[in-house]
Structure 1
């Protein structure tokens, strides 16, 4: 691909943010090239839990709340449209979510009141009736009906298939970007191990790796890798009817009875090696939440790298010091839930459309070192 200029937009990173950005821009008629250093969707997007809500939404700023709320409304239709186009069901699964023994319950209820969200206070007898496999020892609960989870590996598989069907999208896997090309005061392409690729605009959506690429331009993006480990059990399909969160750990039921337990928060650089210490800790949490899992087999254990950012507020927009270079990265723990709104906002800004939310909190201007 030496020196080719084939795209209106070149996207660096094939996770949920890069893939959904590519889909939205392609649906608007742009020619899109998407590059991934390995395979699409195999890093943080694959490794996450897929809860379509921040774990504790009341602990985030209005900037995160705005993106999450828009995305939550968008996900059901996204799942339907992707299954119709590709035959792959991303399994947007509305189960509701229970929080147990929250220390900041009053803040949660106040947030729900301000945001107009339904947040119930069921008694523990009612909770145990709904969730008979729940462990004893929990004193109080909050319940938000309707919260969904998405089966993220299937979501990424469906997006990959949808992009492959579009004549105006080209995907380059196994293509690691090593730097940016500048010409006439603008960023106009990237350098890769296979040569140069040029475009009118370059979008950086490389998650935890975005900071390394921006550093080649002398910019300091405050996005760092934060390791998260998870484990997976296989149970009966009706084992757990709702998501449960206690003491920072969660259980997520899939439609086929798989139960995800997560997650650790570790600052270990770019090391993704699963550890025995984390396995033991996650199993302890799992059995405290759902004692029957003591007799279940762990069928999966993996780690991923979240793109940690200040307050979890992503960077979305053009880099003023480098016209032609755009960012959509730094979503920290909420990449999957914030993705639809982040990518729609990115498209709005790129195409001069009316933005779905105020873009100011996410603008790179003044937030890069």
Structure 2
């Protein structure tokens, strides 16, 4: 254990899991959130434990996602045992329908040794009897799971609150950094300065705004996404399905998520009628029976958009004591276990789980 205090800015799944990893290794962890923990993109996302189209991403994203996919079941079991709150890692598999780049997907799977296979469309209709008509081709990955992200956040928060050396401060907005020369020694809040030996910036879409106070330009921006939720029978949809960029995700209790939009609207996360109608149309095209189902939820969240979806993980050059774990774009929940373990390894001076180079802030910031 290192005799140091760590301050974490941001209480989404990245901040919470970073705190969870660091707490057993340092003297204290203080986690600050501008609102309530886990109420932004971590709550709003779908929770598929895979990038939507993994073969379209860089090897940097693939490396994080593979590590996380393999780790998630163990994490869920551990959190459930600690807190009694099951994050519900639900292994349903995923069918991609009528892909334009199916050959690329299968080549990627062969190269990466991932269990993605082409399947006869009749087999898909046999397996997913509620699927809409008109689809002609499919590929399937049987081991893809989804995590019930609101419960993951709730479980992580409960686990942290049970740790004697962790403090969670909600409704505590960080306005800037405390510095001793170039070294970052804490953060400024309306309630006073919070000091630490190391500060981790994990504020999602708001990370760039904070880093700009140091004269650094972090290319992370909010990207709005809207989703809708139906309540169906528990056995209504046996698998996740994805077509034309829209997906359906079944939860264990029969809730079915349909998502999502991609909108560049700044920090506005107001749900819109236009998106609602578009999502309903996609839902009915995928699963016609949803035309008679009630929408029980419609919301919007802000993803932390970043170039190529590659997160920033590691120390900020020229500002010792400051670390980044942000910019996960559409894959925060997917990449969280690996990202937070990598950040922990680097901060603690331990051997990193994967090559740190692609995620290093050095050379990727302007200022």
TM-score range, shorter chain: over 0.9
Structure 1 match to 2:342? 345
Tell me which residue corresponds to 1:329. 326
Aligned-pair CA distance for 1:124: 1.1
Q: For 1:59-70, list aligned pairs within 5 A.
A: 59-70=56-67
Q: Specify which of 111, 124, 128 is matched with residue 127 of structure 1.
A: 124
Q: Distance in 2 between matches of 1:218 and 1:184?
A: 14
- Does the CA contact (< 8 Å) of 1:220 and 1:368 recur in 2? yes
Residue 173 of structure 1 aligns with which residue?
170
Give the structure 2 partner of residue 288 of structure 1: 285
Instruction: Supply the distance in 1 between the matched residues of 2:244 and 2:358 (Cα, whole angstroms).
Output: 30
Shift of 1:28: 2.2
**Quick one: which of 256, 259, 264 aligns to 2:261?**
264
- What's the C-alpha RMSD, in Å, of the aligned pairs? 0.8
Contact 2:68–2:338 (Cα < 8 Å) also in 1: yes
C-alpha distance in 1, partners of 2:308/2:351?
26
Conserved in 2, the CA contact under 8 Å of 1:7 and 1:33? no
**Corresponding residue pairs, total:** 364
Q: Deviations over 1:295-327 (max 9, x none)?
A: 000000000000000000000000012111100
SS at match of 1:216: helix
Aligned position for 2:215: 218
**Are 2:252 and 1:255 aligned?**
yes
TM-score by length of 2: 0.98
Conserved 8 A contact 1:222-1:310: yes
1:317 corresponds to 2:314: yes
Counterpart of 1:72 in structure 2 is: 69
2-structure distance, mates of 1:42, 1:64: 24
Matches of 2:326 and 2:54, distance apart in 1: 19
1:146 maps to which of 135, 139, 143: 143
2:118 partner SS:
coil
1:41-73 deviation line (CA, Å, top 9, x unaligned):
000000000000000000000000000000001
| 1:274 paired residue among 271, 274, 287 | 271
- Pair 1:41-2:38 in alignment: yes
For structure 2, the residue ranges without an aligned partner over 5 or more in a row are: none
Contact 2:222–2:303 (Cα < 8 Å) also in 1: yes
Deviations, residues 182-226 of structure 1 (Å, cap 9, x unaligned): 014300000001110100000000000000000111100000000
1:8 Cα deviation after fit: 1.5
Give the Å deviation of 1:7: 5.8
Give per-residue Cα distances to partners, 1:62-100, cap 9 Å, x unaligned.
000000000001000000000000000000000000000
Q: TM-score by structure 1 length? A: 0.98
- Which aligned runs of 4 or more in structure 1 are off by greater than 4 angstroms? none
1:267 alignment partner, SS class: coil
Equivalent pair of 1:131/1:241 in contact (CA under 8 Å): yes
- Deviations 1:261-295 (CA, angstroms, capped at 9, x unpaired): 00000000000000000000000000000000000
Q: Name the structure 2 match of 1:115.
A: 112
Residue of structure 2 equivalent to 1:235: 232
Question: Using the alignment, how far apart are the partners of 1:58 and 1:211 within structure 2?
Answer: 28
Q: Pick from 43, 47, 50: which aligns with 2:47?
A: 50
Q: Is the 8 A contact 1:98 1:144 kept in 2?
A: yes
